[in-house]
Amino acid sequence: MEGFLAATVIAGMPLLFATTGEIITEKSGLLNLGVEGLMLMGAIMGFVAGYETGNPWMGLLGAILAGAAGSLIFAFLTITLRANQVVTGLTLTIFGTGFASFMGKSYVGLVVPQTIKDFFVKIHVPLLGDIPFIGPVFFRQDVFVYFGYFLVVLVSLYFYRTKRGLNLKAVGESAASADASGINVMVYKYVHTCIGGALCALGGAYMSLVMMSVWVENVVAGRGWIAVALVIFASWNPIKAFIGAFLFGGLSILGFRLQSMGIHISQYWVDMLPYAATIVIIILSSRKNKKENQPPADLGIAYFREER
């Protein structure tokens, strides 16, 4: 059981990064449906940079740059040129899928260098790692997982305990009011979209560099879309995103687990579970009417200063 839960934490990591990234983006009022594409761009650029240099930091940097660049295209089109956010996001996904498939053509089947494998080796945290049950599940993981925990804390503090976080909320709730109170709306939207995109890309890079450690085409396989749904499940709260990511991480590896326990269900039925569960979750969360669970009021609406 501990082994399964520890694997769940790993399977949940890409979802955690992508969901947190999309929460940051949506907090600024932008609905970026390009998460799947951004994750794929991060997965391939992280892999290429890591493979070519053998340096894990270069791999992560490659992913961050790819994600920031991809979301910059989205930001320019939707913020400055006021294009439809849904269609632009979908286009970003199509572009990202093609980009990753093309860039990865010559890398299919190649394995990440040993230096990178060593970097992402499991680390037993002193003391915490010795706590019964919790230790083996959460504190005998690789550095990326610890960074994931740190990210949740960091983003929560940023949202709820800093002035910038409060400003960001104002931008997403009512860009016109935020603008009137002297907040630079455009800068907030651009910066948070790019940070969000970079985090999505890191989630993708974790899949290609650590989970698979070999390049396979379309490695992300729909997780970007599950992340978009998890944002709703988490009601834009990074801590709930953490819970959601591990629930879904668990669902995605349940099939292997059941088979090893000798329970024979068709793999295709088990594969449907995360998607079916996503549907159940968006239905359930649409019933929540509490004020703090609502999306940012300006989500998906372009801001025109001239039409204020």
Partner 1 sequence: MTRFNIIKRDDLPKKREWIIRTLAILFSLVSAGLVILALGFDPLEVFPGMVTGALGTEIRLTQTILKAIPLIVTSLGILVAFKMNFWNIGGEGQILMGALAAAYVALNVEGLPKPVMLLLMAAAAMVAGGIWAFIPAFFKARMGVNETIFTLMLNYIAIKFVTYLQYGPWKSPESQGFPKVATFPDNATLPKLFGIHIGWVIALILVVLVYIFINHTKKGFEIRVVGESKETARYAGMNISSVIIVAMLISGGLCGLTGMIQASAVEKTLAASLSGGYGFTAIITAWLARLNAIAVLFVCFAFAILLQGGSYIQISMQIPAAVADMLQGIILFFVLGSEFFIQYKIGIVRKNIPQKEVA
Interacting residues with partner 1 (CB under 8 A): 33, 73, 76-77, 80-84, 86-88, 90-92, 94-99, 101-102, 105, 222, 225, 228-229, 232, 266, 268-269, 271-272, 275-276, 278-279, 282-283, 286-287, 304, 306-307
Distance (Å, whole) CA 175 – CA 3: 47
Residues 78, 302 contacting (CB under 8 angstroms):
yes
Residue 215's SS3 state is strand
Of the pair 95, 146, the CB lying nearest partner 1 is at 95
Distance (Å, whole) CA 196 – CA 204: 13
Of the pair 88, 141, the CB lying nearest partner 1 is at 88
Residues 46, 204 contacting (CB under 8 angstroms):
yes
Residue recorded with tokens 């079916």? 276
Q: Which two tokens stand for residue 276?
A: 């079916």
Distance (Å, whole) CA 307 – CA 176: 10
CB of 116 to partner 1, least distance (A): 25
Of the pair 260, 289, the CB lying nearest partner 1 is at 289
CB of 19 to partner 1, least distance (A): 13
Residue 28's SS3 state is coil
Strands (E) across 7-120 are located at: none
Of the pair 29, 148, the CB lying nearest partner 1 is at 29
CB of 126 to partner 1, least distance (A): 42
CB of 79 to partner 1, least distance (A): 11
CB of 102 to partner 1, least distance (A): 4
Residue 97's SS3 state is helix
Of the pair 94, 187, the CB lying nearest partner 1 is at 94
Q: Which two tokens stand for residue 36?
A: 């799947």
